[in-house]
C-alpha cells in the first residue's frame, strides 16, 4: 500500500499536482512576484547587469571610454554625448557603462571571496559550537572592531590597488560579518528536529551540514549576500573615491566622482551621473534584498 | 488589604540588586577589551609590516643611501625581528606612545590628539541627529502603519540607506555652499556650521537605517502577547506603546545605533575627505598614501578603540533595559 | 442580574483577499457567580469571542460586525475608549493561554501587577506595589519575588503571575482562555485549583475557554459547545454530560479515551474543521456529521430550546426534543 502510494507520487511535483498544492518553489515565486518593491529591485538590477555585459556594444572602451578629446571638455549632455563630457574630454556615458562592469565584478567577486572564507568559518562555528565556535568567533570579533571600509583600506594599503587585490581586500573585509551571518543561520537550524532525525539515522556530519543544515538556512544567507554585494560595491567606489581603489584612467564610478568634483560647480553632470549610477545600483540591491527577506520569511513582512 | 504583613518596600528594592554586579561586569568587559585591542594591533601591525617597500626610503626620500638607511633602521628599531618590533610597539602603546611619524618626524600621539576631536565632534553630531530624528519618526510611522506618512518614511528610508556618503556630501556642498552660500564647504573653522553638512552626509545612511529598524521592531513589538495583556489590564493605547512596546522595541534600535558606530567611523573617512576636514579619517587616508606606518597604526587603533567602547556602551544599555541579559552577565561575572 | 450576556455576536477578520468568518452569531449568558465553559476545537472562534467581551479584537484586521455584549447590563460595544479602559482589568479581566509570552519581559512582575491596580484603584505607586505583593502571595508566590523578572519564573509560576494580574482588581467577570494548555500536566491541576478557589472566594463569574472536557466537568456550571463560530449546544453540566443532543458534542465525547473500558476504540470525528474563509452552506458541521440530512446542507438550523436550560442548534431536533443520536440517518 505504502509502496504503491510512493510510486504513484514518485515525484514531488506529481504529489503537489495531485493534491492541488503548488510546490515550494512555485509558492516562493508567486510570493516574490507579488512583492512590488522586490520586482522593481530585480528589474533594476538586471538592467544594470545587462548594461554592464553589453558595455562594449554601447561604447568602445579604447575608442570612447578612455579617449580624451580636449576640445569637448566639460560639454553638457547633448545628442552626441548623452551624459555629457568630463573634465578630460571623455564621454561620461561610456565611462559609466564601463564603470558598471568594474563595480559589479569587484563587488560580486569580493562577496564571493567572503562567502567562501567567512561562510566556511561560520558554518563550522555554528555547527560544531564549543571550542571551535569560540576560537573562530573570538577571532572574528577582533576584526569586527574595525569598520569594513577601514579594514579594506588597511589591506589594500599593503596589497596594492590592482583589481584582484581590491577583490581580495574587500572580500576579507566582509569575512567577519559573513561568518557571523552564516553562523547564526546554521545555529538556528542545527537544533531543529530534522537535524536530530538525520543524526539519529546515522548520517555523517558532512552530509548533515550539506543536505540538511545549509539547504535550510540558505534563505537568510541569500538576503544578506544581496545586501553585502550592495555594500561591497559601495566600498569599491568609496575606496576609488579616496584614491585607494581603481585608479584612473580606468573608469570607475568612485574615481569619476573624485576627479570630477573640482568641476562640479560648472558642470554638475560630471558628478550627477556617477553618483546616480552608484545610488541606483545600491538601491536595486537593497530593494531586492528586502523583497527576498519578505519572500523567504513571510513572518517578518509588515 | 493593608499590606502590613508584607515586607517593607525598602527591603524589596534592596533585594533586587539593581546596580550591584554591574560595576564588576563593566570591569570584566574592560579587561576583555585588552586582548581584543592587542590582537587588533597585532593584525594591523602584521599587515603594515608585510607591506612591500622600505619605510626608510619613505623617510629619507632624496637623501636615501644604503648607509643612511641601515643607520635609520637601527635608530627606529626596524632592524629587529618582527616580534621584537611588535612587542616594542605595544610597550610604547601602553605608555600612550604611538611612535614617531615617518613623514613629519613628530610624535603620532600629538597628531592624533590634534585631529581626533574633529572626528569625534562629527560622529557625535551624526549620532545625535540620527537618534533625535530616526527613532521618533520610526516609532510614529509604526503606530500608523498604513498612513501616507508611514509610506513616505519607508520610501525615504530606503532611498536613505542607498545614498553614497561621498556623493551626498558633494551634493550638499553644491546646494548649501555653492548655490545658497549658507554653510562652509570645507574645514572646521566655522564652529557648529562646519559640522552640520559632514554630520548629515555621514549620518544619512545611519539615520535611515535606525528609522527602518525602529519602525519594524516597533511593528513587531505591538503584536506581542504582553501588549494584549497590558491592554486587557485597561492601559490606554498610548501608554501601552510608551511603557510596553517602546522599551522592548528599542533593543534592536540600540543595536543598530551602537553596532553601526564602525560604519560611522568608516564613513568619517569619506566625509572628512569630501569636506577637507582635518580629522583622523583623512589622516588615515593621507598616511596610507604616504606609507607612514606608525600614523596608520595610530589612526586604526584609535578608531578600533572607539568601536570597542561603543559596543561596550551598547551592551551596558542593553543590560540596563533587559533584565534577561543582566542576569546572564551576573552569571558570567560569578564564574 | 446576569454578569454577561452576548447577543448575536459576529466578528470577521479581513486580510488582503479573504475574509475569515471567526464568530458568526454567538449568543450566551453567564449568570452572576456562575462559570460557563466554552468548548471547541482550535479555530472555533472561542478566543475571538473572549476578546470581543473586552472589545480587544485585534485591529485593523479584526472587526466586530454586529451584536451586543452586555456586562452587568451595560453594552460594551457602545462604550467609548475611556469607558472601555475603565472597564478592562477592573470589571472584566482575562487570563491568557501562553504565560511565556503574556508577560512583558523587561518589567518586574510586581510592576506588571501593580500597573492595573494603580490605574483602577487610583492609588500611588507604593500602595499599588504593596497590593501587588499581596496578590502575589494570594496566588502562592512569596512576596519578596515581586521585583524579579518573568524570565526568573517557571511556566506555572508565570501563569500564577498572569492570574494575579487578572484578579488584581477583583473583576466581576474572569475570562480564562485555555489557562492550562501551555503548562505541564502536574502544574495544570494546581493552576486550575487555584483559579477555581480564587473565583469562589471572590464570588466572580467566569468564562472558561478550553477544549478539555475534563476541565469543564471539574470547574463549570454550564457549558457552551462552539463550532465554526457558533454555539451549537448549550446547557448545564448535566444537560451536556448526561443528555448529549448535538452530533458534534457526541463526537467530542467519543474522541475521549474511556478509562474504564480501554478496549473500546476511539471514534474520532471524521474530517477537519471547515476553512473559516469558506464555510459550507447550511449547518457548517454537516460534511462531518453522521446524521446529516438533506436540509442540513441547505439551511442553518435555529437554536431550539429542549428544556429550560438546554439549547441545541441542529436539524435533528426540528420536530422533537427526544434524543435522536441513536437513530442513524437513512439518506
**Confidence (pLDDT) at A270:** 84
pLDDT at B328: 66
Q: What is the pTM of this model?
A: 0.80
Range picked from A16-20, A234-238, A290-294, B55-59 for highest mean pLDDT: A234-238
> What is the secondary structure of C246-263 as a DSSP string?
SHHHHHHHHTS--SS-TT
Sheet with C4-14, side-by-side order of all strands: C19-30, C4-14, C62-71, C74-75
Cα–Cα–Cα angle for B277, B280, B283, rounded to 5 degrees: 80
Whole-angstrom distance, CA of residue C14 vs CA of residue C60: 8
What is d(CA B259, CA B253) in angstroms, rounded to the nearest whole number? Answer: 10
Residues forming a β-bridge with C208: C37, C176
What the block records as the C-alpha cell of C202 is 471572590
- CB-nearest to B164 from A141, A237, A244 is A237
Q: Of the candidates C218, C217, C214, which has an alpha carbon nearest to the alpha carbon of residue C255?
A: C214
Of the residues A36, A145, A253, A271, the best mutation for testing chain B's interface (the one with the most B CB atoms within 10 Å of its CB) is: A145
What is residue C174's three-state secondary structure?
Answer: strand
CB A264 within 8 A of CB B170: yes
Q: Which of residues 39-68 of B touch C (CB under 8 A)?
A: none
Residue B8 has pLDDT above 60, yes or no: no
Cβ-based contacts of A154 with chain B (< 8 Å): 44, 47-48, 288, 296, 300
* Angstroms from A288 CA to nearest CA on chain B: 11
Distance CA C328, CA B293 (A): 94
At A8, the pLDDT band (50, 70, 90 cuts) reads very low
Tell whether the model's pLDDT for residue B5 goes beyond 60. no
**Residue written as grid cell 550592495:** A230
Express each pLDDT in B113-128 by its tens digit.
Answer: 999 999 999 999 999 9
CB pairs under 8 A between B and C: 113
Nearest Cα to Cα of residue A235 among A290, A285, A140, A166? A166
Residue B170, helix vs strand vs coil: helix
Q: Which residues contact B146 (CB under 8 A, 6 or more apart)?
A: C60
Distance CA B136, CA B138 (A): 5
Q: By the 8 A CB rule, do C155 and C190 touch?
A: no
pLDDT tops 80 at residue A255 = yes
> What residues of chain A lie within 8 A of the CB of B300, using their CB?
146, 150, 154
Q: Average pLDDT for residues B22-42, to the nearest whole number?
A: 78
Residues C156 and C191: beta-carbon distance below 8 Å: yes
* pLDDT tens-digit readout, B273-313: 898 889 999 999 888 888 888 888 888 888 888 888 888 88
* Position A19 pLDDT exceeds 80: no
- Report the C-alpha gap between A250 and C121 in whole angstroms: 75
Contact in structure between C121 and C128 (CB atoms under 8 Å): yes
| pLDDT tens profile A53-111 | 988 887 777 776 677 777 777 777 877 777 777 777 788 888 888 889 999 999 999 99
Can you tell me whether residue C120 is helix, strand or coil? helix
Q: Are C41 and C35 in contact (CB under 8 A)?
A: no
| C35-39 and C62-71 beta bridge pairing | unpaired
- CA dist list (Å): A35 to A29, A289, C260, C282: 10, 12, 57, 38
Q: How far is CA C237 from CA A273, B5, C234, in A?
A: 79, 41, 9
Q: How far is B17 from chain A (nearest CA, A)?
A: 31
Q: What is the DSSP string of chain A?
A: -HHHHHHHT-SHHHHHHHTT---HHHHHHHHHHH-HHHHHHHHHHHHHHHHHHTHHHHS-IIIIIT---GGGTTPPP-SSSTT-B-TTS-BHHHHHHHHHHHHHHHHHHHHHHHHHHHHHHHHHHHHH-HHHHHHHHHHHHHHHTS-HHHHHHHHHHHH-S-HHHHHHHHHHHHHHHHHHHHHHHHHHHHTSHHHHHHHHTT--HHHIIIIIIIHHHHHHHHHHHHHHHHHHHHHHHHHHHTTSSSPTTS--HHHHHHHHGGGTTT-THHHHHHHHHHHHHHHHHHHHHHHHHHHH-GGG--
> Taking a C-beta distance cutoff of 8 angstroms, is the pair C280, C289 a contact?
no
C209: phi then psi, degrees, rounded to nearest 5: -95, 130
Residue B23 pLDDT > 80? no
Give the integer Cα–Cα distance in Å for B318 and B5. 36
Q: What is the pLDDT of residue A71?
A: 76
User: pLDDT band for position B36 (50/70/90)?
Assistant: confident
| Closest CB to B162 among A150, A160, A282 | A282
Buried/exposed A190-205: b ≥16 CB within 10 Å, e otherwise:
beeeebeebeeeeeee
Q: Within chain C, which residues score under 70 in pLDDT?
A: 262, 326-331
pLDDT at B331: 64
Cβ atoms A113, A167 nearer than 8 A = yes
Is some CB atom of chain C closer than 8 A to the CB atom of B334?
A: no
Could you tell me if the ipTM is greater than 0.90? no
Q: Which of A230, A242, A279 sits opposite B269 (nearest CB)?
A: A242
3-state secondary structure of B85: helix
Q: Say yes or no to pLDDT of A112 above 90.
A: yes
List the end-to-end C-alpha distance of chain B, in Å, as a whole number: 43
Q: What is the pLDDT of residues A152-167, one digit of tens each?
A: 888 887 777 888 989 9
The residue with greater pLDDT, B224 or B30, is B224
Q: Which letter does DSSP use for residue B50 in this model? A: T
Contact list, B44 vs chain A (CB under 8 Å): 146, 154
Under the banding of pLDDT at 50, 70 and 90, the label for residue A17 is: low
pLDDT for A283: 94
User: Inter-chain contact C144–B232, Cβ cutoff 8 Å?
Assistant: no
Residue from C102, C124, C158 whose CB has the most chain B CBs within 10 Å, to mutate: C102
- The pLDDT value recorded for residue B332 is 59
Mean pLDDT of B141-150: 86
Report yes or no: B154 and B144 within 8 Å, Cβ to Cβ: no
Chain B residues inside the 8 Å CB shell of A141: 36
The winner for highest mean pLDDT among B26-35, B319-328, C117-126 is C117-126
List the single best residue of B166, B273, B276 to mutate versus A (max A Cβ within 10 A).
Answer: B166
| CB-based burial, B277-288: b 16+ in 10 Å, e otherwise | bbbbbbbbbbbb
Amino acid A116: pLDDT: 94
Asked if C37 and C220 count as a contact pair (C-beta separation under 8 A), the reply is: yes
Rounded (5°) CA angle B281-B283-B285? 75
State how far the alpha carbon of B82 is from the alpha carbons of B16, B47, B48, B79, in Å: 52, 12, 11, 9
Which residues does C122 contact at the CB level (< 8 Å), separation at least 6?
Answer: none
- Chain B contact for A147 (CB, 8 A cutoff): yes
Contacts of residue A162, defined as CB under 8 A and 6 or more positions apart, other chains included, come to: none
- The answer on pLDDT for B10 being more than 50 is no
**Residue B233 CA, distance from chain mean position:** 41
Contact status, residue C40 vs residue C226, Cβ threshold 8 Å: yes
Q: In chain C, which residues have their Cβ closer than 8 Å to the Cβ of B324?
A: 105, 149, 151
Residue C246 exposure: Cα atoms within 13 Å on the Cβ side: 32
**Pairing mode of beta strands C230-236, C222-227:** antiparallel
Whether the Cβ atoms of residue C96 and residue C159 lie closer than 8 Å to each other:
no
Q: pLDDT at position C162, please? A: 93
Per-residue pLDDT, C331:
37
Spatial distance between the Cα atoms of C32 and B326, rounded to a whole number of angstroms: 46
Sign of CA dihedral A149, A151, A157, A159: negative
Strand C173-177 with C205-210, pairing: parallel
Q: How many CA atoms within 13 Å lie on the side-chain side of B326?
A: 23
Residue A117 confidence (pLDDT)? 94
Instruction: Encode pLDDT of B95-110 as tens digits.
Output: 888 888 888 888 889 9
What's the confidence (pLDDT) of residue A302? 34
How confident is the model at residue B330, as a pLDDT?
63
Handedness of CA C115, C117, C121, C124 (dihedral sign): negative
Judged by CB atoms closer than 8 Å, whether chains meet at B322 and C105 is answered as yes
| Upstream peptide bond of A249 is cis (omega within 30 degrees of 0) | yes
Q: What is the pLDDT of residue A188?
A: 79
Query: Rounded distance, CA C233 to CA C40, Å?
Result: 11
Amino acid at each position: 500500500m505504502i509502496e504503491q502510494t510512493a510510486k504513484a507520487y514518485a515525484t514531488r511535483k506529481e504529489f503537489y499536482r495531485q493534491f492541488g498544492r503548488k510546490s515550494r518553489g512555485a509558492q516562493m515565486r508567486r510570493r516574490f512576484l507579488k512583492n512590488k518593491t522586490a520586482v522593481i529591485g530585480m528589474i533594476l538590477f538586471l538592467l544594470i547587469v545587462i548594461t554592464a555585459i553589453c558595455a562594449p556594444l554601447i561604447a568602445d572602451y579604447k575608442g570612447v571610454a578612455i579617449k580624451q578629446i580636449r576640445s569637448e571638455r566639460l560639454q553638457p549632455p547633448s545628442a552626441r554625448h548623452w551624459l555629457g563630457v568630463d573634465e578630460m574630454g571623455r564621454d561620461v556615458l561610456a565611462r559609466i557603462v564601463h564603470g558598471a562592469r568594474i563595480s559589479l565584478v569587484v563587488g560580486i567577486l569580493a562577496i564571493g571571496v567572503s562567502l567562501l572564507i567567512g561562510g566556511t568559518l561560520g558554518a563550522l562555528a555554528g555547527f560544531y559550537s564549543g571550542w571551535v565556535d569560540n576560537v573562530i568567533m573570538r577571532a572574528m570579533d577582533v576584526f569586527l572592531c574595525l569598520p569594513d571600509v577601514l579594514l579594506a583600506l588597511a589591506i589594500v594599503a599593503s596589497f596594492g590597488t590592482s583589481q584582484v587585490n581590491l577583490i581580495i581586500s574587500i572580500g576579507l573585509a566582509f569575512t567577519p560579518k559573513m561568518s557571523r551571518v552564516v553562523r547564526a543561520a546554521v545555529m538556528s537550524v542545527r537544533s531543529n528536529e530534522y537535524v536530530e532525525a538525520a543524526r539519529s539515522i546515522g548520517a555523517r556530519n558532512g552530509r548533515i551540514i550539506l543536505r540538511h543544515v545549509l539547504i535550510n538556512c540558505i534563505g537568510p544567507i541569500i538576503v544578506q549576500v544581496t545586501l553585502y554585494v550592495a555594500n561591497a560595491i559601495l566600498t569599491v567606489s568609496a575606496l576609488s573615491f579616496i584614491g585607494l581603489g581603481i585608479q584612473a584612467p580606468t573608469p570607475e564610478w568612485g574615481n569619476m566622482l573624485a576627479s570630477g568634483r573640482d568641476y562640479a560647480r560648472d558642470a554638475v553632470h560630471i558628478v550627477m551621473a556617477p553618483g546616480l549610477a552608484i545610488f541606483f545600483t545600491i538601491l536595486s540591491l537593497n530593494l531586492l534584498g528586502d523583497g527576498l527577506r519578505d519572500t523567504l520569511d513571510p513572518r517578518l513582512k509588515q | 488589604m493593608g499590606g502590613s504583613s508584607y515586607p517593607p518596600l525598602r527591603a524589596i528594592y534592596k533585594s533586587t540588586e539593581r546596580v550591584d554586579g554591574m560595576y564588576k561586569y563593566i570591569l570584566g568587559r574592560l579587561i576583555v577589551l585588552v586582548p581584543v585591542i592587542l590582537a587588533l594591533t597585532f593584525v594591523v601591525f602584521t599587515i603594515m609590516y608585510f607591506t612591500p617597500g622600505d619605510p626608510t626610503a619613505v623617510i629619507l626620500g632624496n637623501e636615501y643611501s644604503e648607509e643612511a638607511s641601515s643607520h635609520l633602521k637601527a635608530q627606529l628599531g626596524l632592524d629587529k625581528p618582527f616580534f621584537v618590533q611588535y612587542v616594542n610597539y605595544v610597550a610604547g602603546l601602553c605608555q600612550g606612545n604611538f611612535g614617531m611619524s615617518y613623514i613629519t618626524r613628530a610624535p603620532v600621539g600629538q597628531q592624533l590628539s590634534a585631529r581626533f576631536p574633529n572626528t569625534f565632534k562629527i560622529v557625535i553630531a551624526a549620532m545625535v541627529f540620527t537618534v533625535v530624528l530616526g527613532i521618533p519618526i520610526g516609532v510614529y510611522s509604526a503606530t500608523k502603519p498604513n498612513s501616507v506618512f508611514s509610506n513616505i518614511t519607508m520610501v525615504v528610508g530606503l532611498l536613505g540607506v542607498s545614498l553614497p556618503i561621498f556623493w551626498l556630501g558633494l551634493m550638499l556642498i553644491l546646494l548649501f555652499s555653492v548655490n545658497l552660500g549658507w554653510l562652509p564647504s570645507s574645514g572646521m573653522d566655522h564652529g557648529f556650521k562646519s559640522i552640520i553638512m559632514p554630520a548629515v552626509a555621514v549620518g544619512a545612511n545611519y539615520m535611515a537605517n535606525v528609522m527602518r529598524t525602529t519602525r519594524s521592531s516597533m511593528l513587531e513589538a505591538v503584536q506581542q502577547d504582553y501588549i494584549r495583556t497590558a491592554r486587557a489590564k485597561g492601559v490606554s493605547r498610548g501608554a501601552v506603546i510608551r511603557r510596553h512596546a517602546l522599551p522592548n522595541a528599542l533593543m534592536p534600535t540600540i543595536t543598530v545605533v551602537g553596532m553601526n558606530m564602525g560604519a560611522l567611523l568608516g564613513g568619517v573617512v569619506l566625509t572628512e575627505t569630501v569636506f577637507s576636514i582635518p580629522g583622523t579619517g583623512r589622516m588615515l587616508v593621507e598616511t596610507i598614501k604616504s606609507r607612514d606606518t606608525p600614523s596608520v597604526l595610530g589612526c586604526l587603533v584609535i578608531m578600533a578603540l572607539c568601536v570597542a567602547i561603543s559596543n561596550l556602551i551598547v551592551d551596558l544599555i542593553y543590560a540596563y533595559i533587559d533584565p534577561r541579559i543582566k542576569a546572564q552577565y551576573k552569571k558570567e561575572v560569578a564564574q | 442580574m446576569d454578569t454577561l450576556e452576548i447577543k448575536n455576536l459576529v466578528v470577521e477578520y479581513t486580510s488582503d483577499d479573504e475574509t475569515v468568518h471567526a464568530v458568526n452569531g454567538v449568543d450566551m449568558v453567564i449568570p452572576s457567580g456562575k462559570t460557563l465553559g466554552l468548548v471547541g476545537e482550535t479555530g472555533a472562534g472561542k478566543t475571538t469571542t473572549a476578546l470581543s467581551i473586552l472589545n480587544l479584537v485585534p485591529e485593523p484586521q479584526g472587526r466586530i460586525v454586529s451584536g451586543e455584549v452586555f456586562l452587568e447590563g451595560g453594552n460594551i460595544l457602545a462604550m467609548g475608549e475611556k469607558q472601555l479602559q475603565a472597564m478592562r482589568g477592573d470589571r472584566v479581566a482575562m487570563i491568557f493561554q501562553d504565560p511565556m509570552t503574556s508577560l512583558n519581559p523587561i518589567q518586574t512582575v510586581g510592576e506588571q501587577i501593580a500597573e492595573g491596580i494603580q490605574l483602577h484603584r487610583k492609588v500611588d505607586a507604593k500602595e499599588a506595589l504593596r497590593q501587588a505583593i499581596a496578590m502575589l502571595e494570594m496566588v502562592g508566590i512569596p512576596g519578596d519575588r515581586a521585583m524579579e523578572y518573568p524570565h526568573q519564573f517557571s511556566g506555572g509560576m508565570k501563569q500564577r503571575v498572569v492570574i494575579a494580574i487578572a484578579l488584581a482588581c477583583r473583576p466581576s467577570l474572569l475570562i480564562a482562555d485555555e489557562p492550562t494548555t501551555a503548562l505541564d500536566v502536574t502544574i495544570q491541576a494546581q493552576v486550575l485549583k487555584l483559579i477555581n478557589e480564587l473565583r469562589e472566594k471572590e464570588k466572580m463569574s467566569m468564562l472558561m475557554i478550553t477544549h478539555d472536557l475534563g476541565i469543564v466537568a471539574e470547574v463549570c456550571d454550564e457549558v457552551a459547545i462552539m463550532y465554526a463560530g457558533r454555539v451549537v449546544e448549550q446547557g448545564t453540566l448535566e444537560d451536556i454530560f448526561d443528555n448529549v443532543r448535538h452530533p458534534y458534542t457526541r463526537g467530542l465525547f467519543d474522541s475521549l479515551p474511556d478509562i474504564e473500558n480501554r478496549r473500546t476504540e476511539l471514534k474520532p470525528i471524521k474530517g477537519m474543521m471547515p476553512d473559516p474563509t469558506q464555510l459550507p452552506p447550511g449547518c457548517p458541521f454537516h460534511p462531518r456529521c453522521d446524521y446529516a440530512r438533506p436540509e442540513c446542507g441547505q439551511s442553518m438550523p435555529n437554536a431550539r430550546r429542549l428544556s429550560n436550560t438546554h439549547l441545541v442548534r441542529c436539524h435533528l431536533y426540528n420536530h422533537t426534543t427526544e434524543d435522536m443520536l441513536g437513530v442513524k440517518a437513512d439518506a
